Amino acid sequence: MPVVTLRYFATLRESRGVESEPFTVAEGETAASVYAKLFPREHAGGLRVAFAVNRSYVPPGEVLVEGDELCFLPPLGGG
């Protein structure tokens, strides 16, 4: 099964307690399905995140392959 690198930002980094980690995905697994597995509460609560694979924004249905870097980018507040 493919191994990808997951990178977390902002509140998702705080939630996981790490900046990045390797993660084994099933063949055909998508960015959104990995997010739903790792963050079920946030996913169920409707937290909108952007996904980037290999430093390019991608749609939630992007299929992951061996060696990809998947970034979870939650909304950022400011003022």
pTM of the model: 0.90
Q: Would residue 24 count as lying in a domain?
A: yes
Quote the domain boundaries for residue 14: 3-73
Question: What pLDDT does 78 receive?
Answer: 59
Q: Would residue 79 count as lying in a domain?
A: no
Q: Would residue 35 count as lying in a domain?
A: yes
Domains in the chain, number: 1
Residue 1 contacts residue 24 (beta carbons within 8 Å): yes
Q: Would residue 10 count as lying in a domain?
A: yes
Question: What pLDDT does 43 receive?
Answer: 72
For the chain, the maximum distance between any two Cα atoms, rounded to a whole number of angstroms, is 43
Taking the chain (79 residues) in runs of 10, the rounded mean pLDDT of each run is 96 93 98 94 79 97 98 80
Q: Would residue 47 count as lying in a domain?
A: yes
| Residue partners of 76: CB distance under 8 A and separation at least 6 | 10
Q: Would residue 69 count as lying in a domain?
A: yes
CATH number for the domain that contains residue 23: 3.10.20.30
